[in-house]
Structures are given as C-alpha cells and as structure tokens.
Structure 1
Amino acid sequence: MNKRKFYTINQWWRLFATALGFIIFGLYGLFVLSLIWFSLLRLFVWNKQKRTLIAQYSISVNFKVFLWIIKSLGIFNYQFNGIEKLKQDEGCLIVANHPSLLDVVLLASVMGRCDCLVKGALLNNIFISRIIKTAGYILNGESSRILTQCNEILSNKGRILIFPEGTRSIPNHPITLQRGAANIALRCHADIRIIHIECNPPWLIKQQKWYDIPEKKARFNITVGEKIIIGDFLDENTTIAARRLTRHLTTLLTLEPKKE
C-alpha cells in the first residue's frame, strides 16, 4: 500500500511559489516576449543575423530575471562554478548533462549569445515556435540542414548548446549519449566545453510532475569543466572517431566534476 504524502508548510509554500513562477514565465515569456517583442524585432530589424543576436540576448536576460524571481521566492538555489571559462568559448560546442527541466534556462541565462539544438516537435506550439525561429535555433529533425547551420554558426564565433542524452536523464541510472554532438564537433572541427549539472534533491526530472515538491529545497550546482580539443579526436574514419569521442563525453559527464 502506498503511503500518503503529507507536505510541510515549507513544501506548500514552494508548491504555491512554483505555480506562481511558471504562470509568470508563461504569461510574460511566451506572450510578451513571443507575441510583442519578437514581432517588433521582425518588423524593424531586417538583418537576420542582427535580429537573431538580439533575440538570443533577450532570451538570456528573460531567463536571468525568471531565475532571480523563483530563487527569491525560495523555490530553489543555484550556483555556477568556473563560469569565467565560457568567455573563452567562441566557436565552441557546449555539451552538458540533462537532469532537470530547468537546465536550458540556467545555461542560457549566463550565455548572451547561445544557439540551441532543439526538438522539432516544439514547432507545434505557436508561441515557442516563434521564439525558436526568431532566435535561429537549430531543429534536430532537419538532419539535412543541421551540419550546414552548425558550421555557419561556429565559423562566426557562435556557441551551440547541446544535451547529447536527447532527453532528461533518470537519477541513479547510467546516462546514454547519442552521437550527434560528437559528429557535429568532428565534422565542423569545433572544440567542446563540458558542463556538469547536479540537482540535489532531484527536481523537475523526467516523468516527475511539477507539483511533486521535494522535502528539501532543490539546489543546482553547475560546473563549467574542461575543454576537449577536437584535434585530439580527428580521424580519417569519422564513425570510429565519433564513437571514441562519445565514450569520452559519457565518462566526463558521468564523473563528479572537480571544484576549482
């Protein structure tokens, strides 16, 4: 028989604050940002590259404000370690593990210029699709265009954020990476910056409802780790190189990061 779960006063507050935070994010981020601000960008900024950069910086600022609001409400805490390393990462892939729904929000908030590889299914949402298109994000469903888009972004000193697991990981289960990140890095000759995200206790994980509030306040530790020099993995046989690089990425994203 399942035991009934009783919330403490603090959990009830975090439940209310979480709902409030997501409502604010939905009303402002999707309606104001998507319908008003991005419509103005499309109307007045005709240069596509300039419009894309403004859109990405706008998203970063909005994510930063959103995180400040929900942190101030006492929902969770977060800390970045080694964030200064990201300043060295022009023309680089940013590869991270994916334990929580907030991972992309946390990382994009500290990277003003950041392209993302996103699921094509998100285009089915009218508000999110406008954000994706205006920000110039890469769709993983358009396989014939991915390498061309990535190469163009990286050659122009851009950064591409990728979660190579393809979906949120399950706590206490070994992670499994797809080879997409490795193939992009090898074919575009791009270095890879590793980021390790830890969330304790687990929160907003895969198959967990947003209202399933942990007993303790969740804390995110985001550690910017080492940079992989892609030249060390280049090989005439790209398939073999991709396998070797994917194994290496799996090892780095599984190990506990070194605190500097």
Structure 2
Amino acid sequence: MAANRTEAPLGRYIIYLGLVLFFGSGALAYNALCLLTQWLPASERRQQFSRRIMVWLLKTFIAAIEAGGVGRVRFQGVREAIPKGPSIIVANHTGLLDALFLLTELPDVVCIFKSSLRRSPFFCGVIRENDFIANDEGLDLLHAMSNALALGKTILVFPEGTRTEIPPLNEFKAGFALVARRADVRVRTIVIRNSCGLLAKGGGLLRRYATPFQYVFTPGQIFEVNEGEKAVHFCQRVESFFRHELSTDDFAPWQKQRAKASK
C-alpha cells in the first residue's frame, strides 16, 4: 500500500500536519495530567485510571489517522497472541509510534524506553506515572526488568536499541535474553511493518511521507531458552527469526536510499 511512492499529495500532507498538531496537543495535556497526579498518593487504581486515559487518547489518534485517509493501523491478532502474565515481548523498531500503537492493544505492558525521553515535555510525566523502564541503566535495567516479571508483568523490548538504521534490522542487544534466561520466561515476538517509514530513523516529524500508509503488527514465533543455552546464543536465535521475516521490501524507498548512502 503506497510502498513505491516517496511523497504524499499536498492535501493529504496538510491533513498529516494537522494530525501531528493533534497528537502533540494530546500528548502535552496527558503528560501535564501525569505530572499533576504525581502529587496524589500512589495506588494501582490511580495508575489504571491513567492508563485508560492514555489508551483512549491513542485510540482516538488512530481513528483520526484512518478518518483523515492518512493511513491504517492493523493488529493481526496481537491481543489474542499475548496473554497476561510474565513474559518478554520482543519487536523490531520501525518508528517512534511503535510502542504507542502497541499500547492500544496491550495496555498493561511495561515499556523499555529511551532514557532521553525523561527530559521530554511530552513524555517525562507519562514515563514516571506508568513505571516504564529506562534503557541506559546497565545492571539496574536488568534488575528492574526482573522485578517487573516477578510481579507478573509483561515487558515490551526493542532489542535494536534504537530505530532501524539499515534495513532490515539493527543488530540485537542481548540484555532481554539474559533476563529471559534468569527469570525463565518466554519471549514472544511481534513483527512490525511500517512501509512508508513513518517517523523512522532519519525521517523527521515533518517529512512528506508517502500516504496512505499501512502500519501492521503481526505476532510471531514464541521462544524459550534451552537448558544450558547462553544468553548471546538465545539472542541470536531471536534475531535470526526477525531477519527471516523482514526484507528491504518492508521499508520505504527513502530508507533504502539512505542505507545505501551510509555504506
């Protein structure tokens, strides 16, 4: 769907810019609410209420995307494939909206986020309110993930560490595999396809993306650590699955051109 075009028609691009403004306004308002609720006594009920607001805002944003003819977001059985309980979800990282879109289907997951977002006026309060975990804390990160799993939570990880720079995949970091091995939990995979490169690495917020785009989330293979298997080998097995599933055809022409120029 629109994979061969490099730019949107002007009218649709104007709609896209309106959606950017809509998203930014909603994110700022929700972040402000999260900052205010930090003054209230911490409770599971408060956090659940906050999450419901977040999911409602994200679903409204997706509905606006589709109503405006800018794109479609499709979850191919994601909710059914990811039961509640301790497990690690591993996904490839196509763009800035990957985790936010997934939260509409999996509202209770704990996200591993880029640490710089703690300084963002759009997300600093959201991160604290929802107990998300920063990705730059070394052993503290591994302990935080293990603690979340011990509490029966599901963790969402993007092992590439950043958005895909050279299609089809960046090399995986093995932290998730170490935690899965120690906690003895399954790793469930989700393959993300974002064929116009929306908010991908090097894309920029105001790029005139080819639209209408199609953002697709597909559950993949479930992995378990074999007895005596090293974390690095387990990580390689999971990474190999993604490399088999993805190809450069799943990426926008501008991403392929950028990848060639960087070689």
Q: TM-score, normalised by structure 1?
A: 0.83
Could you say what secondary structure the match of 1:244 adopts?
A: helix
Q: Does 1:248 align with 2:228?
A: no
Contact 1:78 1:221 in 2 (8 A): yes
* Residue identity in the other structure for 2:30: L
Say whether the 8 Å CA contact 2:93–2:158 is kept in structure 1. Answer: yes
Structure-2 residue corresponding to 1:181: 176
Structure 1 equivalent of residue 38 of structure 2: 42
What is residue 70 of structure 2 aligned with on the other side?
75
Change (3 A) 1:78 1:244: same
Counterpart position of 1:105: 100
| Contact 1:99/1:171, CA 8 A, preserved across alignment | no
Tell which has more relative contact order, 1 or 2 (C-alpha 8 A, sep 6+): 2
Gap runs ≥5 in structure 2: 247-263
SS in 2 for 1:88: coil
Instruction: Return the alpha-carbon distance in structure 2 between the equivalents of residues 143 and 57 of structure 1.
Output: 31
Gaps of 5+ in 1: none
For residue 126 of structure 1, report the CA deviation from its aligned partner. Answer: 3.7
User: Which region of structure 1 is more displaced relative to structure 2, 61-70 or 49-58?
Assistant: 49-58
What count of residue pairs does the alignment treat as equivalent? 242
Q: 1:160 to 1:174 in 2, by over 3 A?
A: closer
8 A contact 2:88–2:186 mirrored in 1? yes
Task: For residues 233-252 of structure 1, give each alpha carbon's deviation from its aligned partner in whole angstroms, at most 9, with x where no partner exists.
Answer: x42xxxx6111111111111
8 Å CA contact retained: 1:57, 1:113: no
Look up the equivalent residue of 2:213 and give its one-letter code. Answer: A
**What SS does the corresponding residue of 1:164 show, helix, strand or coil?**
coil
In structure 2, the CA distance between the partners of 1:250 and 1:21, relative to structure 1 (3 Å rule), is same
Contact 1:64 1:110 (C-alpha < 8 Å) held by counterparts: no
Residues 177 and 246 in structure 1, CA contact (< 8 A), matched pair in contact too = yes
Identity %: 21
Q: 3-state SS of the aligned residue for 1:123?
A: helix
State the Cα distance separating 1:221 from its structure 2 match. 1.7
* RMSD of equivalent CA atoms: 2.4
Q: Contact 1:99 / 1:198 at 8 angstroms: preserved in 2?
A: yes
Cα deviation per residue 1:175-225 (whole Å; 9 max; x = unaligned)? 311112212211222211100011223332210133333444211121012
2:113 match:
118
Q: Aligned in 2, Cα 1:173/1:80: closer, same or farther, shift over 3 Å?
A: closer
